[in-house]
Amino acid sequence: MTGLRIEQVADDTMLKNWQYLHNAIIPTAVLSLAEVRERAGRNRLAVAYLGDVAVGCSTVRPPADGASTATVIARVLPDHRGRGFGGQLYERGLADARALGADVIETCVLESNPEGLQFALGRGFIEIERYVLPGDSVPFIDLRLV
């Protein structure tokens, strides 16, 4: 677990790193750079680096419209899983969400990512919904921390 550095997305290089990681891990919902820029305007995006190599990313969707629910998503490239990096990304995202006023935490996992689902279930999340995006065939699973 040593050597991981997590940084808020702050420039175009980091936006592109976040985009690459997201698209590699969620290939059914590929995002353009313009879409990533838009997300960065409303969410907290971070990239996890091992040395100079981007190995994971996270998204914190803050509570909106007076609600108390935030979404915390941690993603790690398959070759770097099982080393505690997801836990570090998740803990940082959870702290950010709580600092933004969240009382309820949710996450989202692609059904084709069994490691991600086990990660969430192992941290106390329970499934609340499954859905398929228009034109897609792989469900997303929404979970809530209990």
In the prediction, which pLDDT does 2 show?
A: 59
Domain that holds residue 35: 4-145
Percent with pLDDT over 90 in the chain: 90
Over residues 8-35, the pLDDT tens digits come to 999 999 999 999 999 999 998 899 999 9
In the prediction, which pLDDT does 65 show?
A: 84
**Residue 1 confidence class, pLDDT cut points 50, 70, 90:** very low
**CATH number of 21's domain:** 3.40.630.30
* Residue 104, strand partner residues: 69
Sign of the Cα pseudo-torsion (122, 22, 76, 28, in order) = positive
* Angle between helix 33-42 and helix 12-25 axes, rounded to 10 deg: 100
pTM of the complete model:
0.93
Query: Cα–Cα distance between 19 and 31 in angstroms, integer?
Result: 7
- How many domains would you assign to the chain? 1
φ, ψ for residue 95, nearest 5 deg: -60, -40
Q: Which SS3 state, helix, strand or coil, does residue 69 take?
A: strand
